[in-house]
Structure 1
Amino acid sequence: MGSCTSKPQTSSKPQTSDKPPAKDVTSSNGSASRTRVMAEREYHNVETSTYVLPKDDQEKDRLHEQHYLIKEKFGGNLLKPEFTTQLFEKDINVLDVGCGPATWLMDLATEYPNSNFYGVDIADTFPQAIHPRNLHLQVANVLEPLPFNFKFDFIQIRLLAVAFRESEWEIAFRNIYNVLKPGGTFQVIEICPLLNTTDPEMLSIRTNMAQLLSKKQQNPDMASQLATVMEQVNFKVLYKKDIEIPLGHGTPADIAAGDSFKGVIIGMAPFMAAQMNIDVEEYKRLANKAAANMGPTKATITLWGYLGQRPSDN
């Protein structure tokens, strides 16, 4: 169901550069910031990162909404709850990698106050005002050894399809494996960023997105291949499920999913405009028109969920 394999096509339009113009933000002490501003949105300014989505308040709002959409589609925060829920009824340590504004963590930290929840992300987009006592957040990069001197019972990573180069998935999973207890559980939720569509405008965006990700050495179909990466790192794959989600048509959640995907393609505007060799405003007009057609043309997107386990030491 929901294959999103796409072979990048060669554009007939000459391209001068696929790097969008940017302005680095300088901190109050004059040092370089981890933020750059493009098209009036804030983006990561980490030299090694290939991430193409913003990190501003508008994006945080989209991520909060996206969390509840995923929760509804999978029937909760935990895959295969008949197996995972019993883990959380104990006093355990939980880590969310690439946690963003920590919505998943806050949801679970409130539900399971006797467990400790930790989140890491390459950027500090963490909540400031609302902070459960059992929630601990810090800046860290999963492509480097994680900064913990203890091991976790449960680790999640999700929705980093446009963050990692194809070769970096194994690095990330290995670093996660190293801080997971023997017998511990690993939850992966990932999406194919290339939607299923027949709309000509959205197909143009889809093709150019595939080309952009390919230039960044990313594999847009990686979500469907993560069980293989898990096994390469020595995880035992316990569970695998894919869900095809309507965008802009169907239930209220499906309508909201369309709005969320619109936020994705608009959020990528500086990168996509450079890829398509058009200005940002022209790209936004194209993206808005394409997004409006998702419902009438019955567009969908595919989400994958995996559960893995680190083998117990014998």
Structure 2
Amino acid sequence: MPFRPKDTFKSNADSESTKERKRIHHNVQASSYWLPNDDIEQDRLNEMYFALKHLYSGQLLPKVKEILDFNSNLKVLDLGCATGAWILETSVEYPNCDYYGVDISSNFPALSPNNTHFMLHNVIDGLPFVDSYFDYVRLGHWTSNLKEVEWPPFLKEVYRVMKPGALMLNLEIDTMNRMIESHP
């Protein structure tokens, strides 16, 4: 069983939401995550997923497929899985793997394949998985999700649940507008 016994972790992730400025947000006071979790945000996240899928011609970056064999029985963790779109599509294309999605908001799909598992959890409380379980850990757009002081313990937990030789992908988009000066 990949999950740690319930008495070894506590989560303050809460399925209840609060309305703030006419948008719906999660109700986890200790979280740094500031974006809403309403239908508008879920649509935005899905659109971003499909745009990236198109950009990279699939769910997996080519380099990831070079390193890992997704036709074998990999254990895959998607932290901050949002709507679960990446997990759902990847689990259909690569059905031999087991997929675990964790998010602070419970906007998970109502129906999903048997090789997918979704969990409402605040990662600041640690990761509720046994040591050295995952072959691949995916972090999507995490730059603004954590405070600077939260990164070291978070990464320590991520490394703890990764098997030796596992791969972690931290996918970020550079949205900064930068002016480049040209000097003769």
Pick the TM interval, shorter chain.
0.7 to 0.9
Judge conservation of contact 1:142–1:176 (CA < 8 Å) in 2. no
How many aligned positions are there? 164
How far does residue 96 in structure 1 lie from its aligned partner after superposition? 0.3
**Paired position in structure 2 for 1:147:** 128
How far does residue 190 in structure 1 lie from its aligned partner after superposition? 1.6
Q: Looking at CA atoms only, which structure, 1 or 2, has the larger radius of gyration? A: 1
Which of 93, 100, 121 does residue 118 from structure 1 map onto?
A: 100
Q: Match of 1:90, as an amino acid? A: S
How far does residue 155 in structure 1 lie from its aligned partner after superposition? 0.7
Q: Distance in 2 between matches of 1:144 and 1:33?
A: 16
Question: 1:82/1:91 Cα in 2 relative to 1: closer, same or farther (>3 Å)?
Answer: closer
1:233-312 alignment runs, 5 A limit: none
Q: Distance in 2 between matches of 1:96 and 1:82?
A: 16
How far does residue 82 in structure 1 lie from its aligned partner after superposition? 4.8
Q: Distance in 2 between matches of 1:74 and 1:166?
A: 29
Which of 24, 28, 31 does residue 42 from structure 1 map onto?
A: 24
Judge conservation of contact 1:161–1:192 (CA < 8 Å) in 2. no
Unmatched runs of 5 consecutive residues or more in structure 1: 1-31, 199-314
Q: Distance in 2 between matches of 1:59 and 1:111?
A: 26
**Paired position in structure 2 for 1:134:** 115
Q: Match of 2:30, as an amino acid? A: T
Q: Distance in 1 between matches of 2:20 and 2:177?
A: 28
Q: Distance in 2 between matches of 1:133 and 1:104?
A: 15
For residues 220-241 of structure 1, what are the alpha-carbon distances to aligned partners after superposition, in whole Å with 9 as ceiling and x for unaligned? Answer: xxxxxxxxxxxxxxxxxxxxxx
Q: Match of 1:122, as an amino acid? A: I
Judge conservation of contact 1:43–1:56 (CA < 8 Å) in 2. yes
Q: Determine whether 1:68 maps to 2:47.
A: no
Which of 167, 170, 178 does residue 188 from structure 1 map onto?
A: 170
Q: Name the Cα RMSD after superposition.
A: 2.0
For residues 85-129 of structure 1, what are the alpha-carbon distances to aligned partners after superposition, in whole Å with 9 as ceiling and x for unaligned? Answer: x4211111101001111111111001111111001111211111x
For residues 55-76 of structure 1, what are the alpha-carbon distances to aligned partners after superposition, in whole Å with 9 as ceiling and x for unaligned? Answer: 0111111111100111222333
Question: 1:183/1:197 Cα in 2 relative to 1: closer, same or farther (>3 Å)?
Answer: closer
How far does residue 186 in structure 1 lie from its aligned partner after superposition? 0.7
SS at match of 2:124: coil
**Paired position in structure 1 for 2:149:** 167
Which of 109, 121, 124 does residue 91 from structure 2 map onto?
A: 109
How far does residue 136 in structure 1 lie from its aligned partner after superposition? 0.3
Identity fraction in percent: 37
Q: Match of 1:149, as an amino acid? A: V
Q: Distance in 1 between matches of 2:98 and 2:64?
A: 19
Say which structure is richer in helix: 1
For residues 22-75 of structure 1, what are the alpha-carbon distances to aligned partners after superposition, in whole Å with 9 as ceiling and x for unaligned? Answer: xxxxxxxxxx97311023210122111122211011111111110011122233
Judge conservation of contact 1:161–1:191 (CA < 8 Å) in 2. no
Q: Match of 2:159, as an amino acid? A: Y
**Paired position in structure 2 for 1:56:** 38
**Paired position in structure 2 for 1:176:** 158
Normalising by structure 1, report the TM-score: 0.49
